[in-house]
Structure formats: structure tokens, C-alpha cells
């Protein structure tokens, strides 16, 4: 049973990936600093899988603690690296926080992996590396453009750092998963997206508005050149996304990768406007959402959705869950977490 480190493993995508890893029989060790997650998630993961992962609360910006961890866990067979600050808007306002947290922590983890005989690394990258793509859907061959936000820039720089690391060490194998917009929650409603403070992402803001925590949802711009004037994104169910990480890891462990650095788009291949997401939520929940049109937000692009044929063909992975599935699960999760906390 291979030991896998998941950094940021109590976060939204991380926790769902831990569940999928444990369901596939991997031994999981989680590192999380709890800056945007909750320790309660550890018990929630355990309730789903019947196995409690090893957990260490570590701030990866503290290099000596990263070194100490790998000294104690030198039998790690793979790392899935989620730990990062992730909000586009916040990154525009606090760029240095994002560069410190997203770049330094990556470098410290990679430095320790380079000491191992062989290492396998899955990087949580993003479609933001493409900026506003010239052609849609976006393939992996689309040019990486100048980032629209510091967050997007940290993903570009991160990929470059990993690629450079692969170039000088043939025993270091990495896959960057460039994913689009993760939404939804686990079918049990035991884990889901639970941002601390005001949500930075669309779907938790929708569900928090519907349940009465937020007074109103702001839709940022209705004058984009799209079917209804709102931005288009490729919204992928977080469970589908989590499964992609497991498949990518198995590819590296099984030495089925064609190069020691590979990239894959992970999305549904279909774009949805903000208003279409709202309509989907209203349909599956039966709730009427209070929203207003607001000014455009800095750092937002018009449209992004994936060409997923490479992941479909090379990884044997395909998104299976729909937008309605994701919105229904997100609403079930929101209702469950508020019932528990009230």
C-alpha cells in the first residue's frame, strides 16, 4: 500500500481526493495549515472511508518543518500538492501573500523530493495559465499567456519550476493537472466546499445566499460577449476532479507516463455562463436566488472551457457528473453543514 502525501488535504479538492485515494487502497498522509480549512474535515473523511488518514498541521512556508517531515516520511511514493492560496480577486489585492505562499512552499517540497531515489508529483495547476485563450475549447497546446492575476501567475511559475526540476532529474516524474472550475460536494454531504469568511467562488456564494447567510449574490458583469452577457466557465464536479488526480498518480507510479513532465486539462469540455449556473441551482433546489448585476471584477476573463480529449485518451479519465448533479450536491452539503453547526 503506497504512502501518498496530500498537501492541503483538508481543503475542498484535497479532502475529496483523499477519499478517492483511500477508496483505491492508498495510505494517505495529510499536511494542512488549517488557514482555509477545518480540522473537522478529518473526521468527515474518516466517516466516509472508515479509515482515518495521518494528519500533520504544518505551515509549508516553514522550511525546517518540511525537511523534518520528509526525514520522518522518506517512504512517500507520491505527492499531490494542493496547498496554496487560490482566490483570483484576493491575489490581485494581496500579490505578495500569493507569491510567498504558492511559490516558496512548492520549492521547499520539491527540494525534499529531489533527495529521494524516485519521486512522483501531481501539481494542482489551473486553466488560468491560458489567460483568455485565442481558441475555444482550450487544448494543452494553447499558449501560456501573461497571467491575468497574481494567482494565475503563481500557477504558471509553479509549472515552470516543476518542468525545470524534471529536466535535471530523470527520476523525478510530474504531472500538472490544469483544471477548470471545481464545484459540488461528495454524495454523502459529509465533505464539500466550506470557505472561511466571505466566499471567493461562485457556487458557495450561491448556496450561502440561498440559505440566508448572504443577503445577495453579485454577478460581476453582464456585458461580456457571451450568450447572456455573463462569463463562461467549465464547471467540473469535484468528485470527477478528485478521481483524475488518482488516475494521474497511478500513471506515474506504474511508469506509464510518456515523459517525466506532462500536462492535462481536467474539465467537462462544456462552458456554462454564470446565469446558467444560477438557473441550474434554482431548478435542482427549488429556491429562488436573490442576485444582482454588478460591475466587472478585475482579473476575470470572458470565457474558458476545456478540450479534454488528451485526458480522456491518455489517462482513460472522463468527467461523468453534470452541472445539475454538482449544484444538487452543493446544496445538500450547504444544508447539512448549517444543520450541524446551528
Which are the catalytic amino acids?
151
* CB crowding 8-34: b at 16 or more within 10 Å, else e: bbbbbbbbbbbbbbbeeebbbbbbbbe
Residues sharing a CB contact under 8 Å with residue 189, sequence separation 6 or more, in sequence order:
329, 332, 333, 335, 336
Q: d(Cα 316, Cα 39) in Å, to the nearest integer?
A: 34
Q: d(Cα 261, Cα 121) in Å, to the nearest integer?
A: 9
> Which grid cell is 145?
499567456
Q: d(Cα 56, Cα 75) in Å, to the nearest integer?
A: 16
Q: d(Cα 89, Cα 216) in Å, to the nearest integer?
A: 18
Using alpha carbons, select from 144, 61, 67 the residue that is nearest to residue 99: 61
Residue 48's DSSP bridge partners are none
DSSP reduced 3-state for 28: strand
H or E element, residue 179: strand 172-179
> Which grid cell is 107?
520549492
Contact 246, 24 (CB under 8 A): yes
Amino acid at each position: 500500500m503506497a504512502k501518498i502525501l496530500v498537501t492541503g488535504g483538508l481543503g475542498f479538492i484535497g479532502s475529496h481526493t483523499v477519499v478517492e485515494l483511500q477508496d483505491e487502497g492508498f495510505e494517505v498522509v495529510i499536511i494542512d495549515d488549517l488557514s482555509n480549512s477545518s480540522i473537522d474535515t478529518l473526521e468527515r473523511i474518516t466517516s466516509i472511508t472508515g479509515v482515518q488518514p495521518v494528519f500533520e498541521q504544518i505551515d509549508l512556508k516553514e522550511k525546517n518543518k518540511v525537511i523534518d517531515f520528509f526525514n520522518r516520511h522518506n517512504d512517500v511514493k507520491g505527492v499531490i500538492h494542493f496547498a496554496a492560496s487560490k482566490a483570483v480577486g484576493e491575489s490581485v489585492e494581496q500579490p505578495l501573500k500569493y507569491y510567498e505562499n504558492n511559490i516558496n512552499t512548492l520549492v521547499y517540497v520539491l527540494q525534499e523530493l529531489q533527495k529521494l531515489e524516485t519521486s512522483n508529483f501531481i501539481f494542482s495547476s489551473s486553466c488560468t495559465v491560458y489567460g483568455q485563450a485565442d481558441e475555444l475549447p482550450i487544448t494543452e497546446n494553447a499558449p501560456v499567456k501573461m497571467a491575468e492575476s497574481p494567482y494565475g501567475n503563481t500557477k504558471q511559475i509553479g509549472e515552470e519550476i516543476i518542468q525545470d526540476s524534471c529536466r535535471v532529474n530523470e527520476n523525478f516524474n510530474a504531472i500538472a493537472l490544469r483544471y477548470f472550475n471545481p464545484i459540488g460536494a461528495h454524495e454523502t454531504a459529509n465533505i464539500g466546499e466550506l470557505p472561511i469568511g466571505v466566499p471567493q467562488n461562485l457556487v458557495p456564494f450561491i448556496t450561502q445566499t440561498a440559505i440566508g447567510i448572504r443577503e445577495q449574490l453579485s454577478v460581476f458583469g453582464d456585458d461580456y460577449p457571451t450568450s447572456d452577457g455573463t462569463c463562461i466557465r467549465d464547471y467540473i464536479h469535484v468528485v470527477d476532479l478528485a478521481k483524475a488526480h488518482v488516475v494521474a498518480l497511478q500513471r506515474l507510479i506504474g511508469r506509464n507516463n510518456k515523459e517525466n513532465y506532462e500536462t492535462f486539462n481536467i474539465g467537462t469540455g462544456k462552458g456554462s455562463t454564470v446565469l446558467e449556473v444560477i438557473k441550474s441551482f434554482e431548478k435542482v433546489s427549488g429556491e429562488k436566488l436573490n442576485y444582482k448585476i454588478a460591475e466587472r471584477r478585475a482579473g476575470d476573463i470572458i470565457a474558458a472551457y476545456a478540450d479534454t480529449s488528451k485526458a480522456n485518451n491518455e489517462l482513460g479519465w472522463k468527467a461523468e457528473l453534470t452541472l445539475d448533479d454538482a449544484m444538487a450536491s452543493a446544496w445538500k452539503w450547504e444544508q447539512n453543514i448549517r444543520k450541524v453547526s446551528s
